[in-house]
Structure 1
Amino acid sequence: MQEIIETSEAPEALPPAEIVDVRFRVPGRAATFQIGDLPCKRNVAVVVQTERGPELGETISAPRSRFPKEIDAKFPRVLRLATDEDLSRAEHNHGQEKDAGDVFRQLARELSLPLKLLRVDYRFDGGKAAFYFMSTKGRVEHRGLARDLAQKLHTRVEMRQIGERDEARLTGGMGPCGRELCCSSWLKDFAPVSIKHAKEQGLSLNPGKLAGMCGRLKCCLRYEYDTYAELRRGLPRIGKKVNCIHGEGVVTQQSILKRQVVVRRFSDEVLFDCSLEDLVERKQATPDAEATPEAKATPAESVPEPTLTQPASSKPEPEVSEWEAASTPDPRAREKRNQSGSKKSARRRPRRRKRGDRDKKPSKPS
């Protein structure tokens, strides 16, 4: 009886879930932390260790394993799950933020500073308060205001002047796409955006459609820029003359996502949609194409090119050694040197007399 041995490969064990993503009260701030042995879940308040000290945050994802690019990364750890005492302290700090905002506006009014307060953020331990504000007159000297705030609030004060993009991040809102603003939901850093990103994607240069809630160019213009730049590579530019299967014409429009162009034919001004496969490369004229059929039929014999030779003189020229050639001056070089010397001597200033010569009177000729 033949024994049949069945072997089954055991499935590979999944990597352990050891990190979690945490979001803080300030919009746009999110980071990754190690959970250790804590039973973390999604949408749970936790106390984590940051560079600014302990902070209260909320998990925005379930515990997960590390991504390939996060294998060697070192993350801070989650200290504990938030307790009732931690939540009550956060409520107390929230009340202090409202009172600090009123004090800020009153002192700014007394000092006649054109400042607009956007947000006050107290640390979890209450040892420092950060004020986020804007100014209508650029940079403003606010050291006196910070000193008065520290005296009245009895805590350390941090002043942060921000711009239009940070204002939209702190206040939040809904974008024209119907979703929450990227800067206030998940975007961490602002990448530079220019009008070049809109031109590359073929968008209409309408400021009302390209500007976001902050009044600047939308951050989402950069999301698909690399894709459009890659698809646009190889397409003939607008206004270029091309040959296609429908005839010769000029490119009037580009469809980047379809990788097609609209060609207007020269003969009857009719528009055609042409793909890259429909375009015919323009063949440059070569000397063989311009030759006559008779010349093409019979190959021409290779005739050596005539060389220009000087007539031989009756008397042979004497041989000159290298030393004699180097020592013999060239008459052309000598003439050129004399001309340059005469120009320099003409521009030369008259010699100044010494102090002793100035006192002496010129002697009369005898």
Structure 2
Amino acid sequence: MIDVVGVVFDDEGHIYYFSPAGHNLDKEMNVVVETERGIQFAKVVIANTKLKKENINMPLKKVIRIATKEDFKNYEKNREDNRKAFLDCKKLIEKHNLKMNLIDANFTLDRKQLLFHFTADARIDFRTLAKELASIYKTRIELRQIGIRDKAKVVGGIGPCGRVLCCNNFLYDFDSVSINMAKNQNIALNPNKINGACNRLLCCLTYENDNYLEARKTLPDVGQRVETKEGFGRVVSVDILAQTYQVDVPDVGILDIKVENGSC
């Protein structure tokens, strides 16, 4: 078990775990933390607790300190400047006719870095853009191209299930998702049903895929010829969760068959 605290970088959204580094932290406390993007301001939403190592994304970064009034003042100023930097960058993108879609702009708390996320269909030569931004803000500029799924994670939204997007709420990494996972679960291959807000296959198709594969082992395939009490017929449909299937037997009709004792 490892000592952790859970924090968010916005009022809501993805919870990230950090090492408390000896600090006793309660919910709603503001803290300054070390991240891959530099020093950031965050709010504690899960007080000091212990979690299993396999349940968290390792290695853990540390809580540097409990935020001061000065930290909060800098955070508020950065939020205003983030919006200005975003608009300035968009104007420069249009000026240089760059085919890129800007997602956000964020200063680190200490203003040592200004990070922009963007999407684009191809690689972008943004060296001139970076130089102009650096001359305006007098800090290190990083322009990071991200994928369409990463964009959904940054922007957030509501999924077809009516809940906050998984990637914006709790997912740390994107697992590989294939169309076979939808087929394994007998989901209609309708893009409106199996694609998420990012217009890519739903991440949640991976959640129960292994269970469906295991349950499917006891069922015949659609089209397979099987023997029933009424004679031979062909399987016309299967219900994986109910562990039943239907067989069309000539001169008899459709029979509903329940899998018993793990075998057809």
Normalising by the residue count of structure 2, what TM-score does the alignment of the two structures yield? 0.89
Q: How does 1:297-336 map to 2 (within 5 A)?
A: none
| CA displacement, residues 233-283 of structure 1 (integer Å, 9 cap, x when unaligned) | 131111111112343221111110111111111232x111112339998xx
Contact 1:23 1:57 in 2 (8 A): yes
CA distance in 2, matches of 1:143, 1:177: 41
Partner of 1:145: 129
Give, in angstroms, the shift of residue 167 of structure 1: 1.9
**Residues 273 and 56 of structure 1, relative CA distance in 2, 3 Å threshold:** same
Partner of 2:256: 273
Correspondence 1:186 to 2:175 = no
Which blocks of at least 5 consecutive residues in structure 2 are unaligned?
Answer: none
Correspondence 1:225 to 2:209 = yes
Contact 2:21 2:64 in 1 (8 A): no
CA distance in 1, matches of 2:4, 2:129: 42
Normalising by the residue count of structure 1, what TM-score does the alignment of the two structures yield? 0.66
| Higher RCO by CA contacts (8 Å cutoff, separation 6 or greater) | 2
CA distance in 2, matches of 1:163, 1:242: 47
**Residues 191 and 28 of structure 1, relative CA distance in 2, 3 Å threshold:** farther
- What secondary structure, in the 3-state scheme, does the structure 2 residue paired with 1:176 have? coil
Q: How does 1:167-206 map to 2 (within 5 A)?
A: 167-206=151-190
Contact 1:242 1:279 in 2 (8 A): no
Partner of 1:39: 24
Contact 1:47 1:54 in 2 (8 A): yes
**Residues 29 and 144 of structure 1, relative CA distance in 2, 3 Å threshold:** farther
Contact 1:105 1:117 in 2 (8 A): yes
Root-mean-square deviation (Å): 2.6
Give, in angstroms, the shift of residue 108 of structure 1: 1.5
Match of 2:50 among 47, 54, 65: 65
Give, in angstroms, the shift of residue 28 of structure 1: 7.1
**Residues 154 and 111 of structure 1, relative CA distance in 2, 3 Å threshold:** same
CA distance in 2, matches of 1:280, 1:123: 59
**Residues 40 and 28 of structure 1, relative CA distance in 2, 3 Å threshold:** same
| CA displacement, residues 145-176 of structure 1 (integer Å, 9 cap, x when unaligned) | 11111112111100111222122222211112
Return the letter of the residue paired with 1:150. Answer: A
Give, in angstroms, the shift of residue 77 of structure 1: 3.0
Give, in angstroms, the shift of residue 80 of structure 1: 2.2
Partner of 1:119: 104
**Residues 75 and 113 of structure 1, relative CA distance in 2, 3 Å threshold:** closer
- What secondary structure, in the 3-state scheme, does the structure 2 residue paired with 1:191 have? coil
| CA displacement, residues 315-349 of structure 1 (integer Å, 9 cap, x when unaligned) | xxxxxxxxxxxxxxxxxxxxxxxxxxxxxxxxxxx
Correspondence 1:251 to 2:235 = yes
Q: Which has the higher strand share?
A: 2
CA distance in 2, matches of 1:258, 1:172: 35
- What secondary structure, in the 3-state scheme, does the structure 2 residue paired with 1:239 have? coil
CA distance in 1, matches of 2:147, 2:162: 24
Give, in angstroms, the shift of residue 26 of structure 1: 11
Contact 2:31 2:65 in 1 (8 A): yes
- What secondary structure, in the 3-state scheme, does the structure 2 residue paired with 1:61 have? strand
Partner of 1:352: none
CA distance in 2, matches of 1:271, 1:209: 29
Q: Report % sequence identity.
A: 35
Partner of 1:85: 70
| CA displacement, residues 31-59 of structure 1 (integer Å, 9 cap, x when unaligned) | 32232543312233211233444321222
CA distance in 2, matches of 1:68, 1:126: 33
Return the letter of the residue paired with 1:187. Answer: L
Match of 1:105 among 76, 82, 90: 90
Partner of 1:357: none
Give, in angstroms, the shift of residue 70 of structure 1: 7.2
Contact 2:105 2:116 in 1 (8 A): yes
What is the number of equivalent residue pairs in this alignment? 263
Find the structure with the greater CA-based Rg. 1
Contact 1:123 1:129 in 2 (8 A): yes
